[in-house]
Every structure is written in structure tokens, then in C-alpha cells.
Amino acid sequence: MTDGPDRAAPDAPPRPSVVTLAGGVGAAKLLSGLIRVHPSSDQLAVVNTADDTVLHGLHISPDLDTVVYTLAGAVNPDTGWGLAGETWQAMDALDRYGGITWFRLGDRDLATHLYRTHRMEQGADLAAVTAEIAAAWGLELAVLPVTNDPIETRVTTVDEGEIGFQDYFVRRRHDVGVTAVRVAGVEAAQPAPGLIEALRAARSIIIAPSNPIVSIGPVLGVPGVREAVAARRDAVAAVSPIVGGAALKGPADRLMRELGHESSVVGVARLYQDVAATLVVDESDAYLADDVEAAGMACVVAPTVMDGVESAAELARTVLSSTGVSRG
């Protein structure tokens, strides 16, 4: 498809053909492929904000920033988050005072959090500030937080009770037992402006290979979003973040097991079968295709490990064509 976005009226929100539900690093990689095979200006990324945190008085939105930095070609390739070529002088200076340094904020990355916090103090909402940040990095794809309202993933650990998501993910290196996950504030959250309309109008809705529990879970948990995606089920394809029974990055496999799900493409299919018609699984999981179909999803087998933009673009083509959208 080569058409640009269908704009109903000059000031109405765009109606992009391709809408991707996104967490952080895995989603950003798939998006870097999607913008190579379909016009960026005809795409929307709807991003998890439940791992947002406030540190040093600054509003930090890790998944939004990971998506923006990656699509701008500026992300740190070693970590998948933060900026390439970053320096850490502010963290070193903070260390002198015994300040919080376990969550590493690079000197240039700090500017993003300073800007976001200042604009929000001025009264701008997160969606507006995100659009400003994405435009400043030259992105044509629209980036939308799933909600403007504060939502926060809280993790109940075996030894310490409930802790915040970044305390779990970064400070404890997700190396602690977990008995429950909840998203505080989600019941009262409103979908970001234009989100439900975009889901209704999209030709293709993609669920990125992000953690189904702590990344996609909060996105689908915002009232109205799961229903809007489920209403478009035939146009929805998910990419499994579990390959060969393990997460490529992060704690998705361990969390799925701890919370009573099978840590496999079949477990992913059971979590998504109500919202997505198709699950794209890696070649190494081809032998489970029948079980995915028995769980209620069409199964597409393809290489899903993205080790560069070429493999990301190839996966993007596969995912788009599985929803009926051919390459742009």
C-alpha cells in the first residue's frame, strides 16, 4: 500500500493504516522494520506507559523514548535503550551526593526528561509532549502514549512484597520471584485522544513482540482498548516475544511461568487469542504451530529474531501481509 494517511478533516487526528501496540526494545526493532516497508506517515505506534517513573523529580517514559530514539537511529545499540555515544557525567556527579544512580540516565537522555517534565508542568499532556519530542527527532510515524493518565505497573515479589516496576526490572534486575502484577490506576485511565478511532479505522493492527504481561498487558488494560482491538480481531497480528520457550530480552518467560502461563508460543496464543487472529512465531517454534491453531489463532512461521534492519523489515513484511496489507 502506498497511500498516505486518510485524514477525515484538516484538524482531525490522522487515521493511519497501520497501528502497532508497543512496549520498548522489541517493539522498537519491529517498528524500525515497519517504517522501511510501509510509509511512516501512515503509521501509529501506541506505546506502554506503565513503566514510566519519576526520579529526581523528572517524568521518565522509557518505552516512549526507546521507540523514538530507535526510529531516529539514535538508540544505544548495545542496550537497546538510551542514546548512542552517551556520557554519564550527571550520574557521576549525583553519585557524590549519594543520589539515586541505579537507574542510569545519560547526559543527553536527561534533556528529554527535563523537557518532558517542564512541558507537563506547563500543562501539556503526555501525548502532546510525546508528539513534540518525536517531531524534534524527525519522526514521521505518530507516537502515542496509550493514555495521558498516570498508570504504573506494580510487582508483588516473594521476598519484599509489592515494588514499583523499575525497582523490579532495573534495581533487582528482574531476578526475584514474582507472585502478582497489577497496573495501578488503569481502571480510571482514559485512552489517549484519537486512539480508539485509530483502532477502528486501521487496516492492520500489530501487537509487537513485547512482554505480554508488563508491556502489552497495560496497553490492552486501558478501558476500551482491549474491546476496540478485539472488535478488529481479523485485522490483528501478534508477533510472539517467546522464541524457543525463552524471551529474547527481559523477564517475559519467567513472568509467564510465575503467573501460571505456559512459557511458549502456545502460552502467548492463549493470552492473545481473544484480540488477535494471527500469531507470528519463530521458525524454531514451527513444531508448535498446530497447538497455536488449537489455541484459536492462525499461526504464521517466519524468522522473528531481528538482528538488524533487514531482518526487521522482512518480519514487518510478513506481519503486514498476514493482516492483508501488502508492502508499501
* Contacts to ligand FO1 by CB under 6 A: 23-25, 51, 60, 62-63, 65-66, 81-82, 103-105, 109, 166, 169-170, 215
Nearer to ligand FO1, 12 or 246 (CB): 246
Nearer to ligand FO1, 16 or 82 (CB): 82
Nearer to ligand FO1, 20 or 66 (CB): 66
Share of the chain residues as helix, strand and coil, in percent rounded to the nearest 5: 40, 20, 40
* Cβ-proximal residue to ligand FO1, closest one: 24
Question: What is d(CA 136, CA 65) in angstroms, rounded to the nearest whole number?
Answer: 12
To the nearest whole angstrom, how small is the minimum distance from the Cβ of residue 28 to ligand FO1?
10
To the nearest whole angstrom, how small is the minimum distance from the Cβ of residue 146 to ligand FO1?
13
Question: What is d(CA 104, CA 64) in angstroms, rounded to the nearest whole number?
Answer: 16
Nearer to ligand FO1, 42 or 52 (CB): 52
Nearer to ligand FO1, 104 or 327 (CB): 104
Nearer to ligand FO1, 168 or 272 (CB): 168
Q: How far is CA 135 from the centre of its chain?
A: 19
- Residue ranges in the chain assigned as alpha helix (H): 25-37, 62-71, 89-96, 107-121, 126-136, 165-166, 195-201, 216-221, 225-230, 252-258, 265-272, 289-294, 309-322
Check if the beta carbon of residue 6 is closer than 8 Å to that of residue 201. yes
To the nearest whole angstrom, how small is the minimum distance from the Cβ of residue 284 to ligand FO1?
24
Check if the beta carbon of residue 51 is closer than 8 Å to that of residue 153. yes
| Three-state DSSP state, 43 | strand
To the nearest whole angstrom, how small is the minimum distance from the Cβ of residue 224 to ligand FO1?
23
Question: What is d(CA 317, CA 204) in angstroms, rounded to the nearest whole number?
Answer: 12
To the nearest whole angstrom, how small is the minimum distance from the Cβ of residue 66 to ligand FO1?
6
To the nearest whole angstrom, how small is the minimum distance from the Cβ of residue 147 to ligand FO1?
16
Nearer to ligand FO1, 143 or 299 (CB): 143
CA distances to 18, 47, 88, 290 from 238, rounded to whole Å, are 13, 15, 37, 17
The CA-to-CA distance between both ends of the chain, in Å, stands at 4
Nearer to ligand FO1, 16 or 250 (CB): 250
To the nearest whole angstrom, how small is the minimum distance from the Cβ of residue 12 to ligand FO1?
31
To the nearest whole angstrom, how small is the minimum distance from the Cβ of residue 239 to ligand FO1?
16
CA distances to 236, 319, 320, 322 from 206, rounded to whole Å, are 6, 8, 8, 10
- Which of 100, 101, 129, 96 is closest to 115 using CA atoms? 129
To the nearest whole angstrom, how small is the minimum distance from the Cβ of residue 21 to ligand FO1?
14
DSSP class of 287? G
Nearer to ligand FO1, 23 or 191 (CB): 23
